[in-house]
Amino acid sequence: MHILLAPVGSHGDVHPFIGLGMGLQARGHRITLIASEIFEELAVRHGFEFASTVTRAEYEQTVANPDLWHPKRSARVIFDDALMRKYLPIGYVQIRQRYVPHDTVLLAGPLSLPARVAHDKLGIPLATVHLAPIGLFSAVETSIYPTIRMRSWWPASLKRTLFWMGERVMLDPLVRPQLNAFRATLDLPPVRRVLGQWIHSPQLVLGLFPDWFGQAPDWPAQVRTPGFIRYDQADTKPVPASVEAFLNKGDAPIIFSFGSAMRTGRSYFEAAVEACQVLGRRGLFLAKATDQIPPDLPPTILQADYVPFSAVFPRAAAVVHHGGIGTTAQALAAGVPQVIMPMSFDQPDNAERLRKLGVARVVPAAQFTGATLTAALRGLLADDRVPKACADFQERLRRTDPLRDACDWIEGLRGKDPV
């Protein structure tokens, strides 16, 4: 069959879809990636067809916006009115043009609003793909949100009320006007509670994380959690010679990465330099070589634009990162201790889950200085319980085959179009 992949976001959001596409392609299916044109080369490299939605310039403009990482202002960057006005019809048309009844299945991220619209209008079988637990609201096992932390002992009725208020007051006003205006052009009725309820496919919701990382009894019945899909381009991007030489000539470094979309991390990398020097540790910075990288790095610290995490994390003493789910998954698979500096989106929730697993320390972005990072790393590396916890969850990941299970569930959608 023809599988349409419709992720929204940065490389960390797109990579799991590429991994799914490769698994489905190996089973004989045709794959099309529908995404920002920045990912066209990646799609073609794997033999996928490609359709563009957001331009390269629009993508770069979005990731360059410092508010993208702000816990309260990030949603306005993602749901920018002008971008949504353009993106909704383009995304929908790209799906509609490729839909062949009873032969096409659509996999979409939760922010791919055109995909959910296409399901409502055309009946195309749809799997909503959540990369982290935070996208699935629960009044029982409640996630931690950038703007509020609901306590575990709060009554479920209070949590449900807060969810309703949050959607009504904060989220729906950002999303509904443009979404429902576009739905009206297709003779579709308006929707509400967009991100809490409507966005989930009624047919299949895939949580690409293991149940020990996230599960809740009040999630929708169609949720399945096969596990992490840990694609990171390791099949086509070898470790650069400079990085390989650096790794081979000294003790295991601390690796620092604050996300592929990070362009404003100067203060974070300055704190990393200070921590490495105080601790007498080598460091590897994985980030775009913009002005966010401090000049004149000492010889004990190396910067590289991109290196597959699966190739270097197992060779690290620790990994310091922002709590993105892709980096989280790779660090767990490598069995390496972590320090998390969460900023927005799913990052605070992922950070707390890692802390509870016993594999990480958490330093909020507002408190991330050389001194606090040094203290967190010193405590992490001196804690004898951490290596055991890291090895335990690494072994759990080795014993599962999430790609097989996810592909099985996706193939089960074939033919579930309207009669």
Per DSSP, the residues of 154-170 read S-HHHHHHHHHHHIIII
Q: Please choose, from the candidates 363, 310, 372, the residue with its C-alpha nearest in 3D space to the C-alpha of residue 339.
A: 363
Average pLDDT over residues 232-241: 92
pLDDT of residue 262: 74
When the pLDDT of each residue in the chain is averaged and rounded to a whole number, the result is 94
- pLDDT over 70 (residue 199): yes
| pTM assigned to the model | 0.92
Query: Which residue has tokens 């490299």?
Result: 45
- Please report which residue ranges of 264-401 form alpha helices under DSSP H: 266-279, 309-312, 325-334, 347-357, 370-382, 385-398
Residue 207 is classified by DSSP as E
| Residue 288 pLDDT level (bands cut at 50, 70, 90) | confident
CB 380 within 8 A of CB 319: no
Percentage of the chain exceeding pLDDT 90: 84
- pLDDT over 70 (residue 419): no
Average pLDDT over residues 346-355: 96
Does the domain at 241-398 match CATH 3.40.50.720? Answer given as no
- Which tens digits make up the pLDDT trace of 366-410? 999 999 999 999 999 999 999 999 999 999 999 999 999 999 999
Tokens of 33: 């990636």
Tokens of 337: 């201790």
pLDDT of residue 300: 97
- CATH class, 2-232+400-411 region: alpha beta
pLDDT of residue 77: 87
Average pLDDT over residues 48-64: 91
| Domain ranges within the chain, ordered by starting residue | 2-232+400-411, 241-398
Distance from C-alpha of 126 to C-alpha of 407, rounded to nearest angstrom: 13
Terminal Cα distance for the chain, rounded: 18
Beta strands in 98-248 (DSSP E): 104-108, 126-130, 204-207, 223-224
